[in-house]
Structure 1
C-alpha cells in the first residue's frame, strides 16, 4: 500500500511485526482483548439507544453499514459482524489484514477487509464509523478526523476511543504500562500524540457532529480488569452523531 500523509511508516512496521499475536488473548495484544470486552457493549448500547431503538435482540446491528478504521486483525470487526452489521474494515498494515481475513474465514464471518489508509476509502457514507484506539497513532490528525466524519452518514454515529493528554496519562499509559508493568512494548505511544476530550469534541464539531455519549475507561493494574466509568482522565470513549441536515 502506498503510504499516505496520515500514516506513520514506523507504526506500520511495528504492527506488521506484531500481526501474528493479535488473536492470542495472553500475548502482547491482551490489552486490546480486554478493551474489546468493554468497548463492544458500549458501542452496542449506544447504537441501540441512539440509532436503533427496538432493534432485534440477537442481531441489533442488522441492516447497518459499519466502517472499522484501523481494524488491526479484526477483534472489534468480528464483534460487530456477529451483532449483524455489514462490516467494512480498513488497516494500512498488510499483515494485519492477512491475519484478519484468515480469522474471519475460520469464524465463518463475511467481512470486507481492505489494506488501505482512510483517505483511500471512497464509498457511500456508513451508518456507523468506529475510530477506536487509532487517533493517537496517526499523522495529520485534523485531516484524518475530517475524512472519518465525512464517511459518517447524516444521522449516523462516529465512535472515538483514545487517550487523554495530561501528566496522569503520561504516568499511567506510558511510564506505567510500557516501562514498569511491561503491558505494552516500549514506544507504543507518544504522549504528544494523545488527544484531550476537548480537542476530540472540537474536531467532531468541525465535521458537523455533536457528542451524544461519553465515558472513561480504566484498567485495574492487579486484575487487569477493564471497566467503564465516568473518569476520562486517561482512556476515554465518545460517540458523536452527524447532524441530519
Structure 2
C-alpha cells in the first residue's frame, strides 16, 4: 500500500476477512443492516436523494450505497478494501440495483481528481478506523459542491462509550467481533465539529443512536454519548 494513503492496513485486513459476510443480515454486520433504515431516512429527510449525485466514502460492502441508489440517487461508493468492493459489486448485480458504481480509491485521491462534484457525501462508521480522520473530513468537503450536504457517523470517546461500544457490544452482547473498535480512536462530537469547521463545513444537526438489548431495537435520539451522526453543509 502507498504509505501516503490515509488507511490502517490492519483495519483493512480486518474488514476484508469478513467481506463475504457483508450481506448476511445475521452476520457480524447485522447492526449495520438494522441501523441502515434509520440513517437512510435521516439523510434523505435533510437532503432528498432522488436525482442527486452521491458519494459514499468507506462504503464497505455497499449497504448504505445500495439503499441510497434505490432512493433514486446516482451513487459512487469508494473503499480501499478490494474484497468488500467485489462483494458490493456482486450484490448490485444480483439485486439488479441500478445507479450505483464502486471504486477502489481514497477520499483524498478522489478529491484531487473530482473536486466539487457531488451533491451529497456520506462517511459512516469510518472515521474511527483511519489514522487521520481530519484528512477524510477535508476530502469530503472538497468533494461536495458548494451548498451540498456531508454526513458523518462515528462513536463518542468517553467512559460510557467504552462500556457500551466495546465491552457491551463486542464482549457481552457479541453484536460485533472482538477488536472491531479501539476506544482511543473514538471521536468526541466537539472534535468532529472542529474538523468540520476547519474544512468549511457548517454543522446543521446531530442525532444519537441508541440500542435496547432486550428488544434488540435501535432508534435515533438526542443522546450523542455513544453512537452519533452529524449533518453538515459546505459553505456556498
TM-score range, shorter chain: over 0.9
2:68 to 58, 80, 102: 80
- 2:19 aligned with 1:28: no
- 2:41 aligned with 1:92: no
What's the CA shift string for 1:111-169, capped at 9, x where partnerless?
Answer: 12001222221214211000111100011222221111111110000000110000000
- RMSD value, Cα: 1.2
> Residues 150, 18 of structure 1: CA spacing in aligned structure 2 closer, same or farther, 3 A cutoff?
same
User: What is the aligned partner in structure 2 of residue 116 from structure 1?
Assistant: 105
Flag as ranges the 4+ runs of structure 1 deviating above 2 A.
1-5
Q: List alignment gaps of at least 5 residues for structure 1.
A: 49-60
User: What is the aligned partner in structure 1 of residue 140 from structure 2?
Assistant: 148
User: How far apart are the structure 1 equivalents of 2:84 and 2:215?
Assistant: 28
Q: List alignment gaps of at least 5 residues for structure 2.
A: none
> Residues 3, 226 of structure 1: CA spacing in aligned structure 2 closer, same or farther, 3 A cutoff?
farther
User: What is the aligned partner in structure 1 of residue 169 from structure 2?
Assistant: 177
> Is contact 1:4–1:117 with CA below 8 Å preserved after alignment?
no
- 2:98 aligned with 1:107: no
User: How far apart are the structure 2 equivalents of 1:95 and 1:24?
Assistant: 15
User: What is the aligned partner in structure 2 of residue 55 from structure 1?
Assistant: none
User: What is the aligned partner in structure 1 of residue 119 from structure 2?
Assistant: 127
Report matched runs for 1:1-245 at 5 Å: 2=2, 4-48=4-48, 61-110=49-98, 111-121=100-110, 122-125=113-116, 126-244=118-236
**TM norm structure 1:** 0.91
User: How far apart are the structure 2 equivalents of 1:62 and 1:235?
Assistant: 27
**Deviation at 1:35?**
1.3
User: How far apart are the structure 2 equivalents of 1:196 and 1:124?
Assistant: 28
What's the CA shift string for 1:64-111, capped at 9, x where partnerless?
Answer: 110000101110001100111110100100000000001001122231
**Number of equivalences:** 232
Larger deviation, residues 86-95 vs 101-110:
101-110
2:47 aligns to what SS in structure 1? helix
